[in-house]
Structure 1
Amino acid sequence: MKICLAANIFPPEVGGPAPYAAALRDALEQGGHEVRVVAFSRYLSVPTGLRHLLYTIALFRATRGVDGIIAFDVITVGLPSVIVSFVRRMPVVARVGGDFLWERYVEQTGDLVPLPAFYAHKDRWRTSDRFLKTIASFVLGHVRVAFSTQWIANLWQQEYGLEASNVRVIENALPPRTESAAPLKKNFLLYGRAIKLKNVEAFTRAFEAARKNFPDIELECGKIAQENLQAKIRASYAVAVPSISEVSPNTVIDAIRAGKPFLLTKHSGYAQRFGDLGVIVDPLDERDMQRGIEALVDPDTYRKYADRILAVKETRTYKDIASEFLRLLTESSSGPLR
């Protein structure tokens, strides 16, 4: 097959979707498929509106002779993908590993509302939020959707009224275990984008409160390249993901691979998927986050989670993921959306 990846970002840019898109491209090409990538980030220096137009034109040109599009969201690249699909008469599969509408709302308003509550309190929404939801609903009516977790799939099926026949869960990769070192200090890693939903300020306060009881613990924050982050995780004590919500954080996968216990927000698909491997906390409750930190400092609790992680034998490759996307594209080509 000839496939076009409509990506938000792509390496060397940093961010969860970038390495995913690159790894999916590589797996598809290794399977003998031709892949073209069109990255939206190339147009970020252009004023909004115009950048979307230019991206749609670029996507149209790149999809000549292509059998289908895999879009990495439902708004930024999802809408151009659907527009192009109308002209090219080709199927589109939209991957959902986050919620752009919610992320945008939190970042612009500073209202730290968890993802499930965001849809339950539309009275807080602005006109632009309602407009973008209308766009998302339109796009979702013309694509098949691949969610990264059952948690976000359930939420969106209820909110957008998606037909079960048009929905699949394609989980993220879980590569084989990596070699790791015993930690030389009790350092917790909190690396990621400098955005409000990461909840860094509140977690830092909770960490400082825990530090009064355990002076030897350390917190490392900031933004770091993925390959450097993985090396740090392998040598770390624990990983922290205290975000207001996180659909399927790559950091948790990296922690599991390295055999490192983690602290994770309860508003996450991975709180359900891997909840028995780490400490789950309420990101809006600083005392509960402090509890989670102090729990991991306890040697018996730490060893309990470390042993559970070491017992995980499951692996999942990008070859598996590529096969599932191909199957979904084939289904989209052979039958109408319902």
Structure 2
Amino acid sequence: MVQREIRMKIILATGIYPPAIGGPATYSKKLADRLTRSSHDVIVVTYGNKVETEKWKVENVLLGLPILRWWKYSKKLKEVGKNADVVYAFSSISCGIPIILSRLRCKRILRLGGDFFWERYTAMGGKKGLREWYRSSRWQLAVSSWLLNKFDHVVFSTDFQQQIYKDAYKNLPKNSVIENALALDQVVPMEQHFLKKQLRLLFVGRFVNFKNIPLLIEAVAQIPDAYLTLVGSGPQDDALRKQTERLELTTRVQFVAPLRGKEKFEIFGKHDLLVIPSLTDISPNTALEARSVGLPALLTEETGLSEHLRSGIVIADLSTPQKITEEINRIREGYNFVSEAASKKIEGRSWEEVSKDTEDLFATICV
């Protein structure tokens, strides 16, 4: 058992931080809170406007052209990172490069919840999932390998992504898995869903290419009595609205701005099925949030979701509109069985557990 009584100076390097919305923003703030409670000296470095300082320091770097902002970020790291024990980065590029430029002499740890180069590939129209893309990439692997090996340790959020990297990189740094927190407090009551006359489908997430939302809209066009709510925002927003108009689905596809907290959980209760047809979805927390209140989910087979969390979630090949349509109709036919499975309680994972695992890792590496 690792002794965690050591007081450390910890730099959390993130690209975004609340009030910005996103995984790294939530993660860095929650982790900063728990690490501070454990008497560690925590400093968060982030891009964006100045934010109100809490029990820990939050240092901001204004956005600008990539090279300029990386240099400014590296200067901020030098400024606050003197005598630091560890710097924990939440992005391989926007935080990783400044860490390299800063030449901080502390231990460097990189947390990967996504994949920068693959996401850029999909943003440019690429259609391969993460696993398939890694089998065909070459120069990106060389660049990524150089970057990864500037860190002492890499933390993955899933076994799924860790295994892909182990297969792809011959000289991957020491690595481990620290699963994300899964806060499943009952914001609204858990209940079994029953089909109404109309089929109410839901998507919640960022409007980006790898989420494959256009295929879902095309599938809805093939199911005359299906209605779809798209909750989120992102660079694909205009294209999705134009697609909806082109397919004459404006009365059956509704767009809703991003929701948080109770409002997000309440919208789960107004729908019959959450559909996530991503090319790859490494950590599909939205599917688990839906499950926590009894909403069945249909999820891409290219996922990092752990086996013990898959009950009540249908995993399938959703690579074409036809396959999405077939799976939705199949779930519809056996809906009572699927919704009963989705109404059974699943175990969450607290931020205290995440913080403990992280502290143990830091203490081990910094010894």
> What amino acid does structure 2 have at the position aligned with 1:32?
S
2:67 alignment partner, one of 31, 36, 49: 49
| Whole-angstrom distance in 2 between the partners of 1:78 and 1:303 | 48
Q: Which residue of 1 aligns with 2:15?
A: 8
Q: Which residue of 1 aligns with 2:98?
A: 80
1:198 alignment partner, one of 211, 219, 222: 211
| Whole-angstrom distance in 2 between the partners of 1:24 and 1:306 | 34
Moved more, 17-26 or 3-12: 17-26
| Whole-angstrom distance in 2 between the partners of 1:326 and 1:271 | 23
Say whether 1:226 aligns with 2:260: yes
1:297 alignment partner, one of 332, 336, 356: 332
Structure 1 residue 319 displacement after superposition: 0.7
Structure 1 residue 272 displacement after superposition: 4.7
Q: What does residue range 1-338 of structure 1 map to in structure 2 within 5 Å? A: 1-41=8-48, 45-84=63-102, 86-87=103-104, 89-108=105-124, 110-122=125-137, 130=139, 133-141=141-149, 142-162=151-171, 166-178=174-186, 179-180=188-189, 186-209=199-222, 211-212=223-224, 215=225, 217-223=226-232, 224-227=258-261, 228-270=263-305, 272=307, 274-298=309-333, 301-334=334-367
Q: Is the 8 A contact 1:70 1:93 kept in 2?
A: yes
Q: Is the 8 A contact 1:174 1:316 kept in 2?
A: yes
In structure 2, the CA distance between the partners of 1:17 and 1:235, relative to structure 1 (3 Å rule), is: farther
> What amino acid does structure 2 have at the position aligned with 1:192?
G
Q: Is the 8 A contact 2:190 2:343 kept in 1?
A: no
In structure 2, the CA distance between the partners of 1:289 and 1:111, relative to structure 1 (3 Å rule), is: same
Q: Is the 8 A contact 2:190 2:292 kept in 1?
A: no
Structure 1 residue 65 displacement after superposition: 3.5
Q: Is the 8 A contact 1:238 1:260 kept in 2?
A: yes
Q: 1:49 aligns to what SS in structure 2?
A: helix
Structure 1 residue 273 displacement after superposition: 5.4
Give the greater-gyration-radius structure (CA).
2
> What amino acid does structure 2 have at the position aligned with 1:97?
G
Q: Is the 8 A contact 1:73 1:94 kept in 2?
A: yes
In structure 2, the CA distance between the partners of 1:233 and 1:3, relative to structure 1 (3 Å rule), is: farther
In structure 2, the CA distance between the partners of 1:320 and 1:181, relative to structure 1 (3 Å rule), is: closer
Structure 1 residue 157 displacement after superposition: 1.3
Q: Is the 8 A contact 1:207 1:293 kept in 2?
A: no
Structure 1 residue 159 displacement after superposition: 1.1
> What amino acid does structure 1 have at the position aligned with 2:351?
Y
What is the count of residue pairs matched by the alignment? 317
In structure 2, the CA distance between the partners of 1:162 and 1:265, relative to structure 1 (3 Å rule), is: farther
Structure 1 residue 235 displacement after superposition: 4.1
Structure 1 residue 71 displacement after superposition: 0.7
Q: Is the 8 A contact 2:158 2:282 kept in 1?
A: yes
Structure 1 residue 73 displacement after superposition: 2.3
Structure 1 residue 24 displacement after superposition: 1.6
> What amino acid does structure 2 have at the position aligned with 1:197?
F
In structure 2, the CA distance between the partners of 1:332 and 1:239, relative to structure 1 (3 Å rule), is: same
In structure 2, the CA distance between the partners of 1:264 and 1:333, relative to structure 1 (3 Å rule), is: same
Structure 1 residue 21 displacement after superposition: 2.0
Q: Is the 8 A contact 1:14 1:225 kept in 2?
A: no
Which digits, 9 at most, give the CA deviation of each residue in 1:283-325, with x for residues without a partner? 3222211122223323xx3333333344344221011001111
| Whole-angstrom distance in 1 between the partners of 2:170 and 2:300 | 27
In structure 2, the CA distance between the partners of 1:199 and 1:168, relative to structure 1 (3 Å rule), is: same
> What amino acid does structure 1 have at the position aligned with 2:189?
S
| Whole-angstrom distance in 1 between the partners of 2:203 and 2:10 | 36
Structure 1 residue 27 displacement after superposition: 2.0
Q: Is the 8 A contact 1:93 1:328 kept in 2?
A: no
- In structure 1, stretches of 5+ residues that fail to align are none
In structure 2, the CA distance between the partners of 1:264 and 1:271, relative to structure 1 (3 Å rule), is: farther
| Whole-angstrom distance in 2 between the partners of 1:71 and 1:47 | 20
Q: Is the 8 A contact 2:210 2:280 kept in 1?
A: yes
> What amino acid does structure 2 have at the position aligned with 1:46?
G
Which digits, 9 at most, give the CA deviation of each residue in 1:191-221, with x for residues without a partner? 2222111111111111221x22xx1x32111
In structure 2, the CA distance between the partners of 1:231 and 1:32, relative to structure 1 (3 Å rule), is: farther
Structure 1 residue 176 displacement after superposition: 3.5
Give the TM-score of the pair, scaled to structure 2.
0.79
Structure 1 residue 233 displacement after superposition: 2.3
